[in-house]
Copies of this chain bind each other. A is one copy, B any other.
Amino acid sequence: MSSGFDSRSAAAYSALFDELFPICRSITGPGLQRSLEIFQRFLPLEIESVASGCQVFDWQAPPEWRIRSARLTGPDGRVVVDFADSSLHVLNYSEPVSARLPLEELQPHLYSLPDQPDLVPYVTSYYDRSWGFCLPDRQRRALPAGDYTAEIDSEFVAGGVPYGWCDLPGDSDRLVQFSSYLCHPSLANNELSGPLVLLGLYRRIAGWRRRRHSYRFLLNPETIGSLCYLHGHHEELAERLVGGLVLTCLGGPKSTLSIKLSRREGSRVNRLAQHLARHEPERWKIRPFDPTGGSDERQFCAPGFDLPIGQAARTIYGEYAEYHTSGDDKAFMDLAQIVDAVDRLEAFARAFDETGVYVNQAPYGEPQLGRRGLYPSVNSPQHWGFSDDSTMDHRQILNSVLTILSYADGSRDLINIAERRGVPVEDLVPIVRRLESAGLLAFQAE
C-alpha cells in the first residue's frame, strides 16, 4: 500500500485517473476487479463478493460479464467502431455476437444521441440479454447501406459482485460511512470523481489526531453492489451507523457542493447539512431527499434499512449535457474540483465528528466556572479575570459556555445548541473542548 499519496495535490489524482479511466468497468467482471485492486494500493480495502445467482433481497447477483473485444465493420470492410478505442463503444453487458447483417437489421443495435451528434453515449442492459454498439450520431447517419459485421467477444460466467471497504476506528464504534461507486467504464465526473474524493477523504481522516467516531470507506458497483454490501452488513449498520454520505459527481463546473438529505428526517446528517447551508450558503446547498433519482442512497435509505445516509455532489446528473456520454472526461471533471471536494468533505466530516451529543457533568445549577478560570472573578466590567488565548470576545465565550452547559442535557446535540445560540457549530468546537478538559462535559456516543 502506497503511503505517498498527497491528497492535496491534483497531480496525485491525475496519475491515478489516467490509470483508471480506460478500464472497461461494469457491475461485475475483470475491469471492476482491476479497478478495486488499484485502489487497494492506497486504501486497505477488504474485498468481498456475492456469488452470481445468490438471492440479494429482491434481486439476484448477476453472472459476471467478461468482454474481450468488440468491433463493428462496415460493408466496405472499414472498422466503424472498436471497443479497443473506447470502452463506451459497446453496450455494457452485451451478449456475444458474430453476425453479418444489413444496416436496417443493425439499427436496433445502435445507440447514438441525435441532439449531441459528436458524442458516444454510455448505455447498459444488465438484466435483459441484448447486444449493441454506441457511436456518435453524426457517424451513424453517414453509415452506408449494406451488410455489416458485428463481432462481440464476450461471455457470462459464474462469478460475483465484488465491493471493497475499510475502516478507520475512533474513540467510539459508532460508524460514519462514506461510499462511492465503481461500475461505469470510461467516464470521469459520473464515475471516477467519487472514488478519487473517497480516497482523498480517507487520507485526510486517517491523519486526524482524534476521531470521536469510527469511519468506513466503501467502493461498490452502483445499485446491485450496494445491495450486496447491505446484504452482508445491514445488521451491523442498523446497530452502528450514525450517518454517512454517498459521493458522486463531485467534479464539473458547478462551484457549490450540495448535500442531498437522507430519508430520515431530523437525522444528524440532515441537520448538519441544513446548518452548514444556512451559515455558509456560498459553500453548501441542500437538496431534499428524493427516491426518484440519485445513487446508492436510494438503497441505503430504502424503508427496510432507513439509514441516515445522504449524498454529496457538485455537478449533478441531468444538470450537464455531458452526463453518460464520452463528453464526461478528465477536462470536464477538472482535478482542481476534486481537491476542493476533498477539502469540503473533510470539513463536513470534522463537523459531523464534533457535533454529537455532549452531556453536562455538573448539571445541578451552573457549575462554579470561576475556579476553573471560565468566569470573571471580580464582577466588574473593567475586570474580566478570565484568561483566554482565543480571539473571541470574552463575553461571547462565556455566553457560549453557559448556553452549552444549559442545553447539554443529553436530548440535544451540538447542532441544536449552535442553532439556539445562532452561531456556526464550528464556533462552539473549541469551547466544547475546553469544557471537556475541565471535566464539565462528556461526549456521549449515539
Contacts and interface: CB of A to CB of B under 8 A. Distances in A.
Interface stretch (A246-254, A272-280, A374-382): A374-382
Interface residues of A, number: 52
Given A304-B360, A304-B363, 8 more contacts: A123-B379, A124-B379, A125-B377, A291-B406, A292-B403, A298-B402, A303-B409, A306-B409
A263 B420 CA distance: 12
Q: Which 7 A-B pairs have the closest CB atoms?
A: A304-B363, A291-B406, A303-B409, A128-B377, A304-B364, A292-B399, A57-B364
Interface in A210-243: 223, 226-227, 230, 234
Given A127-B371, A380-B121, A382-B111, A366 B406 contact: no
B303 A128 contact: no
Contact of A301 (B121, B303, B378, B406): B406
A406 B263 contact: yes
Nearest to A361: B58
A306 B364 CA distance: 9
A29 to B, nearest CB: 17
A403 B385 CA distance: 58
A355 interface: no
A42 B130 CA distance: 62
A263 B301 CA distance: 35
A366 B385 CA distance: 61
Nearest to A298: B366
Contacts of A398: 292
A207 interface: no
A435 interface: no
Interface in A38-68: 57-59
A302 interface: yes
A405 interface: yes
B365 A130 contact: no
A101 interface: no
A368 interface: yes
